[in-house]
Every structure is written in structure tokens, then in C-alpha cells.
Structure 1
Amino acid sequence: MENRRWVEIVEENIQRFGDLVVGIDPFLPDIPHVLRQAGDAESWISGYVDFILDTVEGSVGFVKFQSAYFESHGLVGLAALSAGMKRAKAAGMGVILDAKRGDIGATAAAYARAYLAPGSEGGSGDFEADCLTINPLMGPDSLDPFVECANRFGKGLFVLCRTSNPGAGWLQDKMAGNRLISDRVADLIGALSSPETGSLSPFGAVIGATVPQEGRRLRQLLPRSIILAPGLGAQGGDAASIHSLRGNRSGDLLVPVSRGLTRIEDRDVSLERYRAVIQERVDQFKAAIVYDYHMTA
């Protein structure tokens, strides 16, 4: 699969598969017992990642790997993360690494190289994503190395703006001067892109599907940005909330679902049944969030 810029991946894969993003969060209590192999207590992770990719390949255009779940299992987890990311990219899926990195100066530049630069250009070669989530709390200068790297290599960024967790309003809904902090972050995200009329920006925002009122306001500030909208399903977001975050461009919204797709209550279920459950849920979520932009034009 030839290298494509992030915006190209979004535009092409949205047309083929829709805007559902499958979240891959390896958490042992949520998956069938049969996927935990005998022997090495951590060896189940790579098998689990392969199983999920086997199940959804050809049905979805995007996957999101939550880095923390892999990091918590040490080198075995990181090896599974690297292999999973490479496999998904080779299959043509858009790969989002949910690492929420953020720092200043040389440290931010090192994070950017690790996750956004190809191995041939000084990157690690192990964790190269198409798009990375980052945290803007330390200010605009902390974003500069990520933006430079994304521009250079055709990558995307999702900047935390108004998140879906219950405590988000403690800071994000506070006033700073005469503006809400989330509005100031949205202004910052919007200013990262060159003013190309009509095109999607590679610099997007994380805005929770659980806060549709805030999301509608922020969308007005981010007309060209892709919004990554977590919170559908397990966190209480619904399809109406999702649609409130859409703009007027196909591809300007991606909807990640993790536990809502892969968590299973009956851990004694067979692999065949588990695969069928995930496929059914993928179809249900895709149907719930489908949207025809032509009908609103």
C-alpha cells in the first residue's frame, strides 16, 4: 500500500467504509477466555490484535490503537502494538495512535519523530501512525514540533479540545479572559492550517459525542477540521449527538468505538460467536451514524 497523506486516507476510506473507527484496547477482562493462550501471560495480546483486524478488515476504514493498554504490558505489548499498526497500514486502514502526547522543545520533537516520522527519516520505524492524538495543555509551542512533522510527512493530528470524560468541564469549560478554554483551543487548532478553501485540514480536534451543545459551538469554530468524537455507546453518546458535530464536508467527522464493539459479557463464548458479535456491532454502529451530506446541501 503506497503512502497516502492523512487527509487523502480520510477522504478515500470514508467513501468506501463510512466514518466508524474501531478502537483496539486490549483489556483481558473484556475478552473471551479462549483468546488468552497458555504459557506466557502476555502472549494473548498479539493474538487478540490479529483477531480484531481479521474480523474488521474490509468492513471499516480506520482503527485507533490506545497506546496505554499496550504499554501496560511492557515489551510484549509494544511489540503487539507495532505489529498491529503495520498490519493495519498495509491493509489500507487509517491508523490513529491514541497516545495523547504533549511536551515542549526537544522532548516534543522526539515524540513527534517516534510516532509521525518514517524510519527512513529518523523515526522509530516501529510506531509510525497516520494520525496522532496530542495534548495542548502546555501551550502552542508544545504543538509546533508535531505540526512540523505532520506537515513534512503528510500526517494528521487530533488535539484534545472538549473531551468526553465527566471531569472535562473542570478546566475545558472555564473562562480564560473572555473566552472558554475549549474555544481558545479550537481557535488554536483552526490556525494551524493553511487557508485552502474547501479542503479538509490535517489538524483536527477531539470533541466528545457526550457534549453535543459544546460540540455544535466548537464545530462553528472548526469548519475545515476533522473531529474525532469519542463517547458513542459505553459513555452515553448517541447518533443525534454525533450528527451535531458534523460540518458540511464528507470526512469531517470520525467516530471511534472501542468497548462498545469488543467487550463481551460471556467470556466463555467461542471465537466464532465472538467474531459474529463484533461484526454485528460494526454493522449496527455504521447504520446508526450513517449520514448523507447531499441531503443537506
Structure 2
Amino acid sequence: MKSIIVDKLYKRVEERGVVCVGLDTALEYIPEHLFEGRSNVEAIVEFNKQIIDATNDVAACFKVQIAYYEALGIDGMIAYKETLSYLREKDAIIVADIKRGDIAATAKQYAKAHFEGDFEADFITLSPYMGMDSIEPYVPYMEKGTKGVFTLVRTSNKGAEDIEMLKTEDGRDVYKVVGDKLKAIGDSIVGDCGYSAIGGVIGCTHVEEGIEIRKRFDNMFFLIPGYGAQGGKATDVAMYLNNGNGGVVNSSRAILLAYKKQEGREKEFALCAREEAIRMRDEIREAVENI
């Protein structure tokens, strides 16, 4: 099966760089002037729209973390829906960060909820640690070519050591077993670019493993957290890419809150976000060139 959406993402990285803008929008991130004459929902959506408009041509994709919207109840989910709708209007590639990890009939409903209807996205994040039957219900959508997933494999948080680094009987780390199984499923759903519709969430904070991970999961497109606030550097990120492609690097607060680092630029928050996205893109490009 051919994956059209992975080819589209690969092309976006070629054209625009590896930046994935994280729309993890909390009310406290929004400049006060945006609340004038607007409800909280309207302020969130307006903030997101201006960020999207300012960064769309320098970002490969946008990751929308659903928790920030769920926390605000029904109003938050309306803002989530409207944000996704606006991203689709702009032909942006959407990664819905939902991290679902259930099985059977429940997983089918999650797939329907986030690959169709009001909350439709191009990619969603999944947790495969209940087993591969938690991934299988999403495969029919991927086989159509227009949907993909990023599955947790080697994450950037400290607690990853608790499970992901445990040794199995054959000596492999648990995350390698999981990644190998995911790769086997994804090998049948590949784009012309050579990458699978089943991508991996691979944190860039484990630099000693970077080269091995990239080689082991050679046709897996990576969603890479950990850059910036969690300690990952551009030189670290470069090891998880293939000649500057094969992955996107998420940044949320550093982009959304860039205006707070520059006094008096609250009303230029979107321009500040653009400047930070460009700085990040160029820093990673330079690191790739210097490998």
C-alpha cells in the first residue's frame, strides 16, 4: 500500500524544514489584548490562527495536544475543533497528539473519532505498549494512503527508563522490541519517499543511542520531542534525521511564548513565533550540514 500522507510530509520537510509547531495552547500563554471582546474559546482560536498564519510557510506540520483543550471542557473542545478546521483550510499537515492506547472495539472508535468528522487529523499519536492489537484498528485508515500514526517508541522523559529500557530474554531493550514490531507492520504501507505510515515518537535526549536508532528503524518517520526545554540540542536532533529529512522536530512553548522573551512585543506574538521557528529551522539545518 502506498502512503500519500507520508510523501506529503516528506515533501514539506524538503521545502520548509523540520519544525513541527506545537499548538499546546493554554489560556495563560495568550496576550491580554486578545481577550478584549472575546470569550476564552475565541481568544484561543484567534491566538492559534495568528500563530498558524505566521509559521505555516516555515513549518512542516502542526501538532495539536488535545489535553490542553480537554482541560477546558466543552469550550476547549470547540476551540480544538475550530483549530483543526483552520489548519485544514490552510492545507497544513495536522498531528493530533492524543496518545491513545486501547484495543479492539474501543480503538476502532478512537480511530473513527480522530480520522473522521469534527476532530479529523492527518496523523495521530498512539501508545503501543498494550500490544500490537492496539495499533491494528488504525491500519485500515492508513492503507487508504491518507492517514498515518506516530507511535511511542523511545520517549524523551526520564521515566522512559522504567519500562522502555528493560531487557527482554533475547537481550533487546523493550523499546527495540516494540519498534521492531511496529516496523514490521508498517513495512506494507510505505510512500514513494521510502518511509512508512507508521512513524515513531523518538526523543532526542538520548544522544548515545541516536545513530543506532536511526539505522535500526530506517524507514520509520520520526516525531522528535525533547529539543530545547528538555535539553535536546540541534546537533542531537541531526543524528535522528537522514540528510535532514525522515523526521519532524516538535517545539511548543518556545515558539508560542517567544514574545515573552522580548519586552513590549505582546502584540507581535505571532511574528515572534515566526522568528523562533525560523531560528530553530536554520539551527537544525546547520547542524545537519556539519555532521
TM-score, structure 2 normalization:
0.89
Query: What corresponds to 1:174 in structure 2?
Result: 166
Structure 2 Cα separation of the partners of residues 9 and 57 of structure 1: 15
Distance 2:263 2:32 in 1: 6
Q: Secondary structure at the match of 2:156?
A: coil
Gaps of 5+ in 2: none
Distance 1:274 1:198 in 2: 36
Partners of 2:267 and 2:73 in 1: CA distance: 29
Q: What is the CA distance between 1:284 and its match in structure 2? A: 0.5
Between 1 and 2, higher relative CO (CA 8 Å, sep ≥ 6) is seen in 2
CA deviation map 1:169-205 (0-9, x unaligned): 1111111222101111110121012366961111111
Distance 2:113 2:229 in 1: 31
SS at match of 2:58: coil
Residue by residue over 1:236-292, the C-alpha shift from the partner in whole angstroms, topping out at 9 and shown as x without a partner, is 1101110111235x6311111101111253698454332232121111001011169
Equivalent position to 1:256, from 230, 243, 250: 250
> Which residue matches 1:144?
136
Deviations 1:117-153 (A, max 9, x none): xxxxxx3x11111111000111011110012222235
Task: Determine if the alignment matches structure 1 residue 69 to structure 2 residue 68.
Answer: yes
Task: Say which structure is richer in helix.
Answer: 2
Q: In percent, how many aligned pairs have the same letter?
A: 29
Give the letter for the 2:217 counterpart. L
Q: Which moved more, 1:213-222 or 1:103-112?
A: 213-222
The more displaced of 43-52 and 176-185 is 43-52
SS in 1 for 2:63: strand
SS at match of 1:228: strand
Q: CA deviation at 1:217?
A: 2.2
Match status 1:56 vs 2:55: yes
CA distance in 2, matches of 1:284, 1:14: 15
Task: Name the CA distance, whole Å, in 1 between partners of 2:123 and 2:283.
Answer: 25
Name the amino acid aligned to 1:228.
L
Alignment-derived partner of residue 11 in structure 2: 12
Q: What CA RMSD, in Å, does the superposition of the two structures yield over aligned residues?
A: 2.4
Q: Distance in 2 between matches of 1:90 and 1:209?
A: 32
Structure 1: stretches of 5+ with no match in the other structure: 117-122
- Structure 1's consecutive aligned runs of 4 or more residues displaced over 4 angstroms after TM superposition are 195-198, 266-271, 291-296
Q: Are the counterparts in 1 of residues 132 and 182 from structure 2 also a CA contact under 8 Å?
A: no
C-alpha change, 1:62 and 1:198, in structure 2 (3 Å) is closer
Deviation by residue 1:191-244 (Cα, 9 ceiling, x = unmatched): 012366961111111010111223322222210110111111111110111011
Aligned AA (1:53) = I
Give the whole-Å Cα distance in 2 for the aligned partners of 1:259 and 1:226.
23
CA contact (8 A) 1:162 1:208 kept: yes
> Contact 2:41–2:78 (CA<8 Å) still a contact in 1?
no
1:209 to 1:239, Cα distance in 2 relative to 1, 3 A? same
Matched letter for residue 131 of structure 1: F
* 1:46 alignment partner AA: V
Correspondence list, 1:263-278, <5 A: 263=257, 264-265=259-260, 269-278=264-273
* Partners of 1:126 and 1:284 in 2: CA distance: 34
Aligned with residue 206 of structure 2, among 200, 206, 211: 211
Structure-2 residue corresponding to 1:120:
none
Displacement of 1:154: 2.2
One-letter amino acid of the structure 1 residue matched with residue 30 of structure 2: I
TM-score w.r.t. the length of structure 1 is 0.88
Instruction: Report SS of the residue matched to 1:86.
Output: helix
Q: CA deviation at 1:34?
A: 2.0
Q: 3-state SS of the aligned residue for 1:161?
A: strand
Q: What residue in structure 2 maps to residue 119 of structure 1?
A: none
